[in-house]
Chains A and B, each alone.
Chain A
Amino acid sequence: MIQPMKIISGEELVALIPQKPPFVLISSLLRVTEDNCTTTFEIPENHVLCTHHKLQASGLIENMAQTCAAKLGYEYNLLGKPMPIGFIGDVRDFLCSELPAAGTLISTEIKIDNRVFDVTVISGKVFLEGREIASCKMKVFIEESKQ
């Protein structure tokens, strides 16, 4: 089991993922295991993916993808390897029952379902105040850095 010794946030977290502000959609890395990862995201009032003070579906999908990126970045960092780049290849079975408002805190869990060649298949769920508000399955292409 891989477990962060402490909650990772701020610049330390941003250093683990390829995305940079204003397109960062995770605030804290809470938990990493071999096949799972949990993050939280406090949605800023003026985030670029908010419309009418609500984080849009695209933001929820990106939030799940960045949770996957944080897991990979954390693991690669532990191994002393440069951060990989991930590309969303496919999103399936996306369900969204509620768009979270700016200023709220969402919690996101991803599970690695499969690793096939350079593709990681994940299931993601987003929670708001304990309620599941979105979920999907996603294929993420992983490209290792040549640095």
Chain B
Amino acid sequence: MSNEQIIAEINRFLSEEFEVDASKITPEATLKETLELDSLDYVDLVVILEGNFGIKVKQEDFVGIRTFQDLHNYVISKQNTTAA
């Protein structure tokens, strides 16, 4: 899967799961505000990422993830690490 495909898939899953208009998911938008995440929603977010992208998310990794761009970069990086 190309990086563009990964980004499109992430956005599609998040749009569906959190019932947010896909147009609101932009690289610079923040996850918390756009998806209206509370602490329990972060669990759902991790379940989506782990279940659909074959990665294992660590709690400490999430500290630096604020925007969708951060999330895209993180998943792409983890996938590349897994594939290597």
Number of B interface residues in the complex (CB < 8 A) = 8
Provide the residues of chain A in CB contact with B40, threshold 8 Å. 89-90, 119, 139
Size of the A side of the interface (Cβ < 8 Å), in residues, is 9
Cα–Cα distance between A114 and B50 once the two chains are bound (Å): 10
Bound-state CA distance A121–B48 (Å) is 13
The answer to the question of B59 belonging to the interface, with a C-beta cut-off of 8 Å to chain A, is: yes
Q: Type the 1/0 row for A69-95, where 1 means its CB is closer than 8 Å to any CB of B.
A: 000000000000000000001100000
By secondary structure, the B interface counts as: helix
- Chain A residue numbers with a CB within 8 Å of B51 are 114
Q: Which residues of B contact A90 (CB under 8 A)?
A: 40
Check B46 for interface membership: any CB of A closer than 8 A.
yes
Interface residues of B in 28-84 (CB under 8 A from A): 40, 43, 46-47, 50-51, 57, 59
Which residues of B sit under 8 angstroms from A113, Cβ to Cβ? Answer: 47
Is A5 part of the binding interface, using a Cβ–Cβ cutoff of 8 Å?
A: no
Task: Find the A residue at minimum CB distance from B40.
Answer: A90
What 1/0 flags go to A85-117 for Cβ under 8 Å of B? Answer: 000011000000000000000000000011011
How far, in angstroms, from A123 to B59 measured CA to CA in the complex?
Answer: 23
Binding site for B on A (CB under 8 A): 89-90, 113-114, 116-117, 119, 121, 139
Q: Can you offer 21 A-B residue contacts whose CB atoms are under 8 A?
A: A89-B40, A90-B40, A113-B47, A114-B43, A114-B47, A114-B50, A114-B51, A116-B43, A116-B46, A116-B47, A116-B50, A116-B57, A117-B43, A117-B46, A117-B59, A119-B40, A119-B43, A121-B43, A121-B47, A139-B40, A139-B43
